[in-house]
A and B are shown apart, each in its own frame.
Chain A
Amino acid sequence: MSLSPDDVKRIARLARIEIDDSQALASQSQLNSIFDLIATMQAVDTQGIAPMAHAQEVYQRLRADSVTETDHHAAFQAIAPAVENGLYLVPKVIE
């Protein structure tokens, strides 16, 4: 299994990380050495083994349906890159 520079650009696109051709090329060899390491697990027979998503076999605790939060938007927006009239501003969204 090895990634091509195009694969690298495709996943960089998915992850919204700008990457140019030379960076893609440089990343490609490092990523491939990591995927070589990862590939060692492919040989393991895991038929019938349940995937383990959590460290503990416990179930989700449920919160009572009640309003416990108050308005903190002034404090939250004090650290925002761009706000106006209580709204976060971003470059125009085209639908």
Chain B
Amino acid sequence: MSDASLSALAAQLAAKQVSSRELTQQYLDRITALNPVLNAFITVDADKTLTEAAAADALIAKGKAGPLTGVPIAHKDIFCTDGWLTTCGSKMLHNFIAPYDAHVIQRFKAAGMPSLGKTNMDEFAMGSSNETSYFGAVKNPWNTAYVPGGSSGGAAACVAARMAPAATGTDTGGSIRQPAALCGITGLKPTYGLVSRFGMIAFASSLDQAGPMAPSAEDCALLLNVMTGFDPNDSTSLEREKEDYARDLDKPLTGLRVGLPREFFAEGLNNEVATAVEAAVTELKKLGATTVEISLANSKLAIPVYYVLAPAEASSNLSRFDGVRYGYRAPEYANLDDMYCKTRAQGFGAEVKRRILIGAYVLSHGYYDAYYLQAQKIRRLIANDFTEAFKTCDVILGPTAPGTAFKLGEKSDNPVEMYLNDLYTIPANLAGLPGMSLPCGFDSQGLPIGLQLVGNYFSEAKMLNVAHQYQCVTDWHARAPEGLK
């Protein structure tokens, strides 16, 4: 059961070999067994989950099932879920029972997919190791002394540990792809605007995008079919024809032009990662692809640009957490101003406060042009590099992260070193392009290595095709950590 693909699970449900309640209960049991070790979930509510599973069974019985009806899924705790605790990994929202459903949640509910619970994450999605969560760090299922990556670390860990067949994530600077890489699963960040942000607690609005996380590219394609679509409640949601992201999965890769950005294979890249990624390139060539060297010269500026733009937007987005209408309020204060200052000092963790301060500073009087405006201009230069590159290639390939998972606590005192983890993932967010990570090997310590694909706008089906064809001839994605009880 636990290694079955989403389409296989759906087939078993449709054939009534298993009910959604039975299937969901099996995952809940595994969560009960493993969560004390991995801390991948913040909230599990078996009663609610099983009620949803029963409703899915009723749909199946009535013949009204969709492609994934009855298959359970875990949701990142950044999505508001009606009646569920929705914390965003923060003390600020430790008591926030969301009174409405995010658009993404609505879509999975409409598809009849029961929610297994809310997954752990870096506080307000700010982090690359899942160590900034108020609810404690998540452990990497491949080695529990290591981080799972972040910010969708709970989602990646629970899929890797087969506590859920799939999970939702969000990606502002790599928060789907980097934990997918570090946990050995597949994750996709769609083109900005394909998935509604309504109800997804905002980190950096112009970069945030939700996407699927699952063992395989095929699973991700099916999940993407559920998640994407126009939402009138999100002004940045794009009005496009609905497409089937699984339509090209089986296409041969003959003639595929793979772009290899010089800058992604330069200094700073771990040797074992480089070797694994190069081996994957060889596999793709065997499948008929050709390679072309490209340059993303401005991508070296992606981190400084990102650490201006994302904190600027975040500092403003997080101003609503003031202790007035919901969430945490400091127990003692002298007056209104003191209530604000204490509530926010106590309710936010160190990394969130650090980014709020950076954001407030770069937007403040006298610094706006030098920081914020300059960063927005370089953002365009970075996007322009991609436009040029896609004139000569169909998909860009490189490592997802410079290394494999690192030890818990290893980088938590050094923010800059932590930030460098997102070196290869951030450029796609800045340009608004789709990016995905898929497993392509293991290092000498048995930790997974991730391969990143970046596609042109709206080329998700093409990327999924490439990833699926690769996964048809490799089994990295099918491997699960052993020894977990």
B358 A91 Cβ-Cβ under 8 A = no
Verify A18–B344 contact, CB threshold 8 A. Answer: yes
Once the chains bind, are B377 and A52 in contact (CB under 8 Å)? yes
A53 near B206 with CB under 8 A, answer yes
Residues facing A in B95-154 (CB within 8 A) are: 95-97, 99
Residues of A within 8 A of B353 (CB): 17, 27
A53 to B309, CA, bound (A): 9
Bound-state CA distance A91–B327 (Å) is 17
Instruction: Tell me if B356 and A17 are in contact (CB < 8 A).
Output: yes
**Cα–Cα distance between A39 and B371 once the two chains are bound (Å):** 9
Instruction: Report if B251 contacts A (CB, 8 A).
Output: no
Q: Mark A6-18, 1 if CB is under 8 A from B, else 0.
A: 0110011011111
Which of B174-182, B255-263, B331-339, B462-470 contacts its partner?
A: B331-339
CB distance A76 to B381 under 8 Å? no
List A72-90 residues whose CB lies under 8 Å from chain B: 72, 75-76, 78-82, 88, 90
Cross-chain contact B360 with A52 (CB below 8 angstroms): no
Residues of chain A at interface, number, CB under 8 A: 52
Q: Which residues of B (371-410) have their CB < 8 Å from a CB of A? A: 371, 373-381, 383
A39 touches B342 (CB 8 A): no
Which residues on B sit within 8 Å (CB–CB) of A79? 95-97, 99, 326
CA distance A40 to B371 in the complex (A): 11
Is the Cβ of B336 less than 8 Å from the Cβ of A92? Answer: yes
Contact, CB under 8 Å: B357 / A52: no
In the complex, what residues of A have CB within 8 A of residue B340's CB?
A: 16
Shortest Cβ distance from B383 into A: residue: A52
The yes or no answer to B266 lying at the interface (CB within 8 A) is no
- Contact A81 B341, beta carbon cutoff 8 Å: no
Known: A46-B381, A72-B99. A34 touches B236 (CB 8 A): no
Other-chain residue from A19, A31, A92 in contact with B345 (beta carbon distance below 8 A): A19
Whole-angstrom distance from the CB of A45 to the nearest CB of chain B?
A: 10
Segment among B58-66, B162-170, B281-289, B297-305 that sits at the interface with chain A: B297-305
Query: Is B308 a contact of A55 with CB atoms below 8 Å?
Result: no
Q: Known contacts being A15-B344, A41-B304, A80-B326, is A34 close to B381, with CB within 8 Å? A: no
Question: Which among A16, A44, A60 is the interface contact of B381 at CB below 8 angstroms?
Answer: A44
Contact of B374 among A30, A42, A55, A80 (CB under 8 A): A42
Contact A41 B301 (CB under 8 A): yes
| Number of CB contacts from chain A to chain B under 8 A | 160
Report which of A53, A54, A75, A93 forms a contact with B336, defined as CB distance below 8 A: A93
Contact residues of B: prevailing secondary structure = helix
- Interfacial chain B residues near A40, Cβ < 8 Å: 301, 304
B360 to A14, Cβ gap below 8 A?
yes
Q: Give residues of chain A (29-83) contacting chain B, Cβ–Cβ below 8 Å.
A: 30-31, 33-42, 44, 46, 49-56, 58, 60-61, 63, 72, 75-76, 78-82
* B193 adjacent to chain A (CB < 8 Å): yes
Report which of A12, A18, A58 forms a contact with B238, defined as CB distance below 8 A: A58
Contact status of A11 and B381, CB under 8 A, knowing A17-B348, A18-B341 = no
From A31, A80, A92, contact of B325 by CB (8 A): A80
The complex places the Cα of A7 from the Cα of B335 at a distance, in Å, of: 24
Residue of B nearest to A58 (CB): B238
Which residues in chain B, 416-449, are within 8 Å of chain A measured between CB atoms?
A: 416, 419, 431-432
Q: Give chain A's interface residues, CB within 8 Å of chain B.
A: 3, 7-8, 11-12, 14-19, 27, 30-31, 33-42, 44, 46, 49-56, 58, 60-61, 63, 72, 75-76, 78-82, 88, 90-94
A79-B96, A82-B329 known, 13 other contacts, Cβ within 8 Å: A16-B340, A17-B357, A34-B415, A34-B416, A36-B416, A49-B381, A51-B380, A55-B191, A55-B192, A56-B236, A56-B432, A81-B326, A91-B338
Residue pairs across A and B with Cβ atoms less than 8 A apart, 25 shown, are: A11-B360, A15-B357, A16-B322, A17-B357, A18-B338, A18-B341, A31-B358, A34-B416, A37-B307, A41-B301, A41-B375, A41-B378, A44-B298, A44-B374, A50-B380, A52-B377, A53-B206, A55-B191, A56-B193, A56-B238, A61-B235, A81-B323, A82-B329, A88-B324, A90-B324
Q: Chain B residues in contact with chain A, CB under 8 A? A: 95-97, 99, 191-193, 206-207, 232, 235-236, 238-239, 298, 301, 303-305, 307-308, 315, 319, 322-327, 329, 333, 335-342, 344-345, 348, 353-354, 356-358, 360-362, 364, 370-371, 373-381, 383, 415-416, 419, 431-432, 457
